Structure 1
C-alpha cells in the first residue's frame, strides 16, 4: 500500500519507470553483494525489503523493463509441470573413496609413480549436499542442472536462481561452467523443522534431504523459502580460460563473486594433507553446515591431464570419507514392532542425541541374537552410530557405566499386537508371530501393497491406512477396491478433492502390470525382481497359482527357496479368498509382457550403452525398445559392449567407445534395425 501511494499521484512515464527499475536493480544487487559475499550489510533488513518490494511493484507494471539480473528472480517464478533433461557440456564424474591414512598414502604413491617432479594437492570440504552444474553465458547465469547420472541431469535453473549467494551476473562474458554443492545450513534446517513441527507437518530427516528436495520443487517460490546455499568447488572449463592451477581457479571464481569455500588448503606434502584432514575430522562439528569428508585434488591441470581418468572417476582426485560419527547416550527402553511378515523387530528407545546432523532417539537392534551378543540391557549407556550416515544403530555397550540396575531384555513370548504365541523357527534369527490375522501384519501388508514398487496407489499413506483400519472400513488388502467415497469423506483431513483423487488412483491401479500385483501380495522372498520374473514367464496369475516348485525352479535366477515360498503362499486358503476378491473387483491378472511377444529378439544377449540426447526418442523410450527386443542396457562402455546408441553431446562414453573400437550407431540406424526380423540381420549391419 505504501508503494502504491508513492506512485499514485506521480506521472510515471515509461522512460522514468525504466530509469527507476535500472537504479533499483543496481542498488539491490550492490546490497546483496555486501550482505552475502562480503558479510558486511550496509542497510537494515527493513530498508532492503522496502527497496525489493518497490522493484517487484514496478516490474509488475512494466515487465518489459525487468533486467536479466533482476534480484526479484530470487523470490521464485512460475511453477513448472516437470523438469526437462539437460545434457552436461562437461561430464560430472564421481570420485573414488579412501577411508584411512593408509589409503591416502597409497593414493599419493600411485600419483608419484606416474608424475615426476613436484606434486601439490588441494584439500577441500566434501559438502554434504546436492551436486549441480551451472553455466554462465555472456555474463549471465544461463543454466543450472542437477548432476543426474553425470551426463544428463534435470534443468533446475529457476530454483538455482533463488540461491542468493550465487550471482546471476558476473563480470566475464566468456562461457563459464562451474560445479558446486547446494546445501542448507544447520541453523536454517532447524528453522524449517521448527515450522514443520508447529504446523503438524512432516519433519525432515537431515539437511541434505531437505536441500535436495527443495532444489527439486516444481514451484521455485517454495524453493526460495528454504534459504538454499551453495559452495562452488570446481571451474569445469578452467584450462579453456587460461588457468593452470585449481587454486588459481578458486581465486578467479571468488573475484567473479561466485561463492567458494575459502577454507581450502594447498599442501605440498601428503603429511600436510593428512594433518588438514585430521584437523577437520575433529572440528567439523563447529561448522554451520554438514560435511561428510574431505576431497583431495591435484592442483596442476597439466598433471591432471597426464593422470587421466578411469571409467568412473578421475585418477587425480579422491574423497576421504569421515568415519561414522559415534555418540554415547542412555538406552531408556526396548520396544518391539511387528512387520508385515510377522517378524518382531526390537528397537532401542534412546535419550535424544545429536548424531551426523540429526537428532536420534531410536535405533535398530536387529534381532534377539544381536542383543545377546552385545549384552545390551535396558538402562545401559550405549554407543550409537549411523550406518552409512543414515540408519542409527547401537554398536556397543559402555560396561564401565553400569550401576547394577540395568535390566536384561527378553523377546516377547506373545505377539504384542494380537496376543498369539510367538515362535523362532530353526535356523532363523527372527522371532515371529505366525498369526496371519494379526492386525500389525495386516496393516504392514496393506502399506506394502499400495507402495510405489507395488500397486503404487497415490495418496494412500500410512496414516490413511491406519484410519481405514481403525474405523473398520477395511480389514484386508482386497477391501481397498470395495470402498466408496461416502465412507472416506468422514475421515480426518479427507475433503472431497482428496477422496476423488484417491478413488481415481485406486481405480487406475486395477490396470497395473501383473508384476506389481505379485510384489504387492507380499510373498516371502519374492521382491520386485522375482515378481517381474514371474510376470515374464507366465501368461497370468492363475498359471502362477497352479505352478509347482518344479515349474518355478526352471526360471533362470528363481531358486528353490523362492519357488517353495510361492507354492506355499498360494496354498493358503485365506490368500486364495483375497485373490478371488481382487479378481471380482477387476484387478488385472494378465501379463502385459505377452503384448510384446511378437517382437523379434533382435538384440538378444547384446550389451548396449545409451549416451547423449537422441533427436526424437527419450532415453527411457529407447531403453524400453532395446529391452523389449532382448538387449541388456548397461551404464558404462567396455570391450564387452555390443554397440553404443549415441545422440548429441554424447561425451566421454562416446570417446571411450571409439577408443575401444566399439560400434557406435545413431537413432536413424537404430530405427532401421527395428524394421529387421532377425538378430542375424542386425549383426550383419554391426
Structure 2
C-alpha cells in the first residue's frame, strides 16, 4: 500500500507543478480551480497519512509553516542596483544617443518589458530547490523572506529540469488588481481599514512574520533579471528568460526583443496601448541591452548599469462611479462596451467615458453598473478602468449582460473565430451603415467636404434619407428635407440664403468626390483589412475595379504586400451580393471605378518621380502638411511611405518632437530632412 501511496503522491505533485506552470508561466490553464483544489486536497490527505514521504518542495508546503520570530539580514552576492529613469521621449532619445556614443552606431538588440509596480525580490535556487528569498533592501543587503516567498504564485519550490547548480532570479512580487479589489472588500467586511494601494499591500505582506497571513494576500511573482549563476551560461537575456520559463518561472507578460534601441522604443508605444488589458500595476517600461557580453563591456555607474533604462510616466488616478454601460457598434460590426462614468477630473481633463474593449475585459474586471472604479490616465494613454472598488458595493449594483443580439438591428451577434471580439454580421445594420458612411466621407477616404459626423447622424435617423453609399449622391433629389435636417443638426437657425449656401456646399463636395481616384474608393468601401496603403497597391496593379473583380483569390494574394488574408477578404466582398450591389450602384452614379490607361500613366509617372524606389519615413509634428498629405506626396513622386526606419530607408522627414524613429535614423546613419528640405527636394509649392 505504501508504494502505491508513494507513487500517487509523486504523480499528484508532478501534476500540480505542471498545472502551476500552465497557470502562472504560460497563462493557459487546462483545468478549473475546483479540479485543481481536488488534486491539492487529495495530495494533502495522502501526505498526512504517510508522513514518511514528506518533502519540503511539495506544493502543499507553500503554506503552513510556523511564524518566524524576526528577519535575518542577508548580503546579496551580486548587488541589486537601481535603474536610471527617464520621463519623456526626449530624455529616452538622449539615453539612446549616449549608448550609441559609447558602443558605436551598429544596432544591437534591446529587450522591452513592463516595469511592474511591486516589490523587488531575489530568489536563490540550489540544486533546483528554493533555498532563499531576499528583499532588495539597500541593494547590498536585504531581509530573508523565504517563509513568505514560498506562498507566492509563480515561485516554484522545485524547478523543472534541467536547471543550473545555482540560480538567482530577480523579479517583482505584486498583488493583481483583481485580487487587491477582493482583499479590500474582505477588509471592509471585517470592519478593518481597506488597504490603500497594491504596492503597499505587497510590501506589508512580505514583511509579515506569519506565512499564513501572507498567503491570504495572494502575492504573485514575475521574473525579469539574473543575479548569481553557476553551472550554466547564456549569451543573451532572452535566452535566460526562455530557460527559466522552461524551469517554471514566469517572465513579465509582453516582454519582447527588438533589433535596435529605436525599434524597442517603438514597441513601448504598443505596450502602453495595451495597459488596459493588464491585471497588475505598471509604472513604466524597462529597456535593456539583450547581449550579456555587451552589458559587461558597458559596465555600471556608482548607482546603476549603463545598459538599462526605465521609461516612466506620471500616473493620475481618480475614483468615480459607473453610471451605465452601453455597447457601440463600429463600421465593421464590432460591439464595444463603453462605461459611462460620473464626470471626474484626471490630470486636468474631465473624464466621463472609458472603453471596456470587449466582453472578456468586463469579466476580468468584474465591473458592474453602479460600481465605484479606479480610473487611471498614464502618460499620453487614454483613461482606462484599473479595478473595481468592491468594498464600496452596497447591493444596488447590477451585472451587465453582454447582448446576444445587436443593439441596433437585433441581429444575433457572432464571435470572431479564435478571437475576443463579438460582431454584428448584418451589413445593413443602421449602426454599421452610419459608421461606414462617416468613414466613407472622411479625409482618409473620399474626403467629402461638408459631410460631417453630426449631419450623417441626422441623415440616417428614421426615416433614413441615406441607407447606402449611393444614397449620398442622390441627396440632391431631397434638398428640402436635407435643409430641414441640416439646420436641426446645427446650433442655430440659418437664414434662407445661408441654408442654400450650406446645401450647395455639401452637394458640391459630393459632386467633387465622384472623380476621386480608385484607391480612395477602395479605402472608403469599408472592406476588412483594406487600408489606404493596400488600396493604393491594388489600384495601381489592377487599374480598375472590374479588373479586381475578375482576379482570382490567388492572383490577388500574389500581389506584393497583399497576401492571402487580405486577398480572401477582398475577393469575398467583391463577389458577395452586397459587394456587387454597391459597385453597380456607384457605377450608375458615375463614380470613378478606375482606368487601366490612367493607372499605367500614373505608374509611369511614379517610376520617373524623384522618389522612385525610395523608402521615406515621416516622424514628429509637421507644420506644412497633414500626415496623410505628405505620405500621398511621397507616393505620387514614386516613393514608398514607410512606417519604420531600417537600413533600407532612404531618408527620414522629421518634424518637431521627433522621437525613436529619429534616434534610429541617427543610429543607422540615415539622412534626415526637415519639411523645408523635403519641399525643396521635390520643388513643391
Shorter-chain-normalised TM-score: which range?
A: 0.3 to 0.5
TM-score for both structures, normalised by structure 1: 0.45
TM value normalised by structure 2: 0.45
Q: Which has the higher contact order (CA 8 A, sep 6+)?
A: 2
